Amino acid sequence: MGHSNIQWNHQYIQANGIRIHYVRHGKGPPIFLLHGWPEFWFVYRKNILPLAESFDVIVPDLRGFGQTEKPALPDPPSRLVQTLADDLPALADGLGLKQFGVVSHDVAANIIQVYARQHPERVLGLFFFNCPYPGIGRRWAEADTLKEIWYQSFHQLPWAAHLVGYNRETCRMYFANMLRHWCHRPDTFDEDLEVWVDNFMAPGNLQGGFNWYIAMNETRLEIIRKGPPNLPKIQVPARFFWGVHDPVIKIEWADRLGDYFEKYTIRIAEEAGHFVAYEQPEPANEEIIQFFSKISTSASR
């Protein structure tokens, strides 16, 4: 079935002071699918309907991304991380959901770790694809990694969004590089490349995403300077499905998960890079269904 024929159920809600766009399908225990960068809700297009057979699947655009509102950065910018963490319960409250599961990776994985430490009682389970977490520590700045994380500094330049979004060609060039280089098979995203260009050429979407890197810079540099911080372990059950070919969030960095997650399991996605849910949708969907089915069964006892 071509994805252009699917009638996606687009919804909007006012929550935490902004208008949030989300797609929602299915019935059952609620799970949120939360995206990273350079992404928006559509990165989960191969997962939503299969998961909707078992779950109430809610896929928002994060603040600053896609069709969700893009307010200016707070002062100081580092407050954005907590604001994003507050958007999730506000959205859940607006939808009348007390407890929910969360699937996330990349940007959203950072946000949900903050939230799960503050409100573990609301989160049934955490399912992570490739996950930036504090245990990566100084390794972000290792010699072999520096060439991979250049964009995290570039995005903070005041003219970066203008340069990337100068026209469709510059935008396409930028995202084609990311989508091809971060995938195990470089052509994986080719059929959707123009959808990505459309999304990021929409007003405010480049800067909206780049603002995440401005907000995170202080924390990022602190971890590189001082190494992994000591934090209370996240108590919510966690499952990781990590792409072995990710050049940015490397599989070998999963070695300290036990220092930050009390109850976790990990499996390796052998044929995936950074975008596991998109690159390997069938195994990803199976892992998600298996994990949350177990949790929702034990939660309903």
CA 186 from centre of chain = 20
- Choose, from 106, 133, 246, 278, the residue flagged as catalytic: 106
Dist. CA 129–CA 137, nearest whole Å: 19
Buried b (16+ CB within 10 A) or exposed e, 95-120: bebeebbbbbbbbbbbbbbebbbeee
* Residue pair 61/200 in contact by the 8 Å Cβ criterion: no
* Residue pair 48/42 in contact by the 8 Å Cβ criterion: no
- Choose, from 213, 260, 264, 278, the residue flagged as catalytic: 213
Give yes or no: 274 in active site.
Answer: yes
With 0-12 / 13-18 / 19 or more C-beta atoms within 10 angstroms meaning exposed / middle / buried, residue 225 is exposed
Dist. CA 171–CA 166, nearest whole Å: 7
Dist. CA 225–CA 222, nearest whole Å: 5
Residues in the chain: 301
CA distances from 218 to 78, 80, 132, 215 (A): 7, 12, 15, 7
What's the half-sphere exposure (Cβ side, CA atoms, 13 Å) at 276?
Answer: 32
What's the half-sphere exposure (Cβ side, CA atoms, 13 Å) at 131?
Answer: 30
With 0-12 / 13-18 / 19 or more C-beta atoms within 10 angstroms meaning exposed / middle / buried, residue 2 is exposed
Give the residue among 4, 181, 20 at the shortest CA–CA distance from 89.
20
The residues annotated as belonging to the active site are 106, 213, 274
